[in-house]
Structure 1
Amino acid sequence: MHRSAPRLSRILACAAVPVMLVAVGCSSDSGSDGKKSAGSSSSGTAGPKPSEPTVEPAKFTDLPDPCASIGKKTIEDLVPDAKKKGGTAGGSTDLSVRSSCSWNGLDDQGVKGSQYRWMDVGFTRFDSDQSLGSGAKRATADYTKQVTKAKESEGAEKVATEPAAGIGDEATLVTYGLSKTDEDFVYATVVARTGNVVVTLTYNGAGYAGAKTPSSGDIVKGAQKAVKEAVAAVEKTADSEDASSAGGDAKGDATDGSEDTKKDRADAKGDAGSEDSPKSKAKS
């Protein structure tokens, strides 16, 4: 009897060992699965996608009337006896994106011959586009393209290029000579960029019937004067848009104020007629 008791204790102790091992094993597996699950959850979660940089909004959303972009006095000085003093507008499918105007005239000086002058101005506006870039960037590319085009004019002789200071954000003057209709023409083209708009102005002249060929200096001076007015006309479109927007906001504020005033008056009238008002109590 005394021997069987210790033996029974040993048997019970040994039987308990596998149960503990199983418990430990389950606990270990559970912890491992938890870590794996946490790790897979962490690595499987997609982070926020980086947002694309927003392009700079275009400065100008419209173009001026090209035939009104250069002052009448300037037209009279640069193109004497212009056939159409108001200019001839060029064709365009969208005048807010592309427009142009030209003037030409022959100033007959009798026995001294005649002076011929031609001037044209063109505007091209570029909108900002998420895939193409900002309007200013696109206009800069076109500005470079137009300068190259002027320098490579067919038949141009003695081509010269130089920066034109004080005109828009950047400007280039291209001068050259050209022989046509048996006369020597003097050309000056100014390509300017202001914001997201490119302005291209060409001014040229020639002397007919023995008249003296105009000097390059006079042609350049006239072209620069005219293009400055054209660029200023573009820049005024932004001012007029801001003024229009401000006027609309002011009108809206005035309307809101008027509505608030009406409401206050109605509330005051309602208070005066209520039983709790001082005037109502005096009557009772």
Structure 2
Amino acid sequence: MQRSAPRLTRILAAAAVPVMLVVAGCSSDSGSGGGDGAGEAGGAKATASATASATPSPTPTVEPAKFAKLPTACKAIAAKTTASLVPKAKNENGTAAASTDLSHRSGCSWNGLDDKGVKGSQYRWLDVSFYRYDSEVSLGSGQARAQENFAKELGKIQATAGAKTLSTAPVAGVGDEAKIVTYTVNKTGEDFPYASVVARSGNVLVLLSYNGAGYAGAPVPRAKTIVEGATKAAKEAVASVAAANK
């Protein structure tokens, strides 16, 4: 009995060692498993964050401008039309307006005095201007910019100093939108009836003005004649914009 007791003690001690190792191993595996889970979650978050940051923001866009060119202003209205509206013009081919950028701004004018001797003289003036607006993300589309300036230019004409019997009306069949402003201004002691047209075609604005006066006893031009002349010339000017871009 005395010899078997120590032997039993040694056997129990030896048997206890694997059990401790197994328990320790489980504890270690458990801790390691928890660490891997946290790493996977962190990695997923990092990947999602990287994907989100890598996704590009949408690039701002704007509607393209309809027209890229302007017509040659002095050829935008037919020669026979300018000849009938401005008889005896000083320059039958028109006088081009000064411009540093003909792709965006251009103009032309005709004026002349038709002297009828003792019957007096008739004076006429016709001018046309073109303005083209590009589409820019920071400013908006060319069409929208032309619309905005359409309203501004119309307002300027309606605010003409000394204008009498001023009236505004839409003009059908001229571009995308058009209005004509009629009024009378007294200059050099004579009444000048005016007809000014503001028209828009796409991203191009067309401004046209026609007026006249009678001198030395000649009658004042009829308002109807001035309106009809301005409307005809405006239609040709607006049509020339599309023709220049074919």
Hey, what's the Cα distance between the residues in 2 that align with 1:206 and 1:88? 20
Q: Which amino acid aligns with 1:93?
A: T
Is 1:141 aligned to residue 148 of structure 2? yes
Hey, what's the Cα distance between the residues in 2 that align with 1:53 and 1:163? 35
Q: Which amino acid aligns with 2:236?
A: E
Q: Which amino acid aligns with 1:19?
A: G
Structure-1 residue corresponding to 2:38: 32
The CA deviation string for residues 81-114 of structure 1, in whole angstroms up to 9 with x for no partner, is 1111111111111222211111111122233222
Which SS does the other structure have where 1:228 is aligned?
helix
Q: Which amino acid aligns with 2:179?
A: T
Shift of 1:14: 3.4
Hey, what's the Cα distance between the residues in 2 that align with 1:121 and 1:75? 11
> C-alpha root-mean-square deviation of aligned residues, in Å?
1.7
Runs of 4+ in 1 over 6 A off after TM superposition: none
Hey, what's the Cα distance between the residues in 1 that align with 2:70 and 2:177? 18
TM-score, normalization by structure 2: 0.90
Shift of 1:134: 1.9
Shift of 1:44: 4.0
Identity %: 49
Q: Confirm or deny: 8 A CA contact 1:60 1:195 kept in the other structure.
A: yes
Is 1:182 aligned to residue 189 of structure 2? yes
1:117 to 124, 130, 141: 124
Which SS does the other structure have where 2:245 is aligned?
helix
Shift of 1:51: 2.2
Which SS does the other structure have where 1:168 is aligned?
coil
Q: Which amino acid aligns with 2:192?
A: F
1:55 to 46, 57, 62: 62
Hey, what's the Cα distance between the residues in 1 that align with 2:39 and 2:200? 66
The CA deviation string for residues 136-194 of structure 1, in whole angstroms up to 9 with x for no partner, is 22222221111111111122122211111110111111111101100011000001111
1:194 to 198, 201, 220: 201
Is 1:42 aligned to residue 42 of structure 2? no
Higher relative contact order (CA 8 A, sep 6+): 2
The CA deviation string for residues 31-62 of structure 1, in whole angstroms up to 9 with x for no partner, is 22222222233234314223223222222222
Greater fraction helix: 1
Q: Which amino acid aligns with 2:141?
A: S
Q: Confirm or deny: 8 A CA contact 1:58 1:195 kept in the other structure.
A: yes
TM-score, normalization by structure 1: 0.79
Matches within 5 A, 1:1-284: 1=4, 3-4=8-9, 5-6=11-12, 8-45=14-51, 46-239=53-246
Hey, what's the Cα distance between the residues in 2 that align with 1:15 and 1:70? 104
Which SS does the other structure have where 2:125 is aligned?
strand
Q: Confirm or deny: 8 A CA contact 1:59 1:238 kept in the other structure.
A: no
Which runs of 5 or more residues in structure 2 are unaligned?
none
Paired residues, what number? 239
Residues 15, 71 of structure 1: alpha-carbon distance in 2 compared, 3 angstrom cutoff:
closer
Q: Which amino acid aligns with 2:190?
A: E
Hey, what's the Cα distance between the residues in 2 that align with 1:108 and 1:90? 26
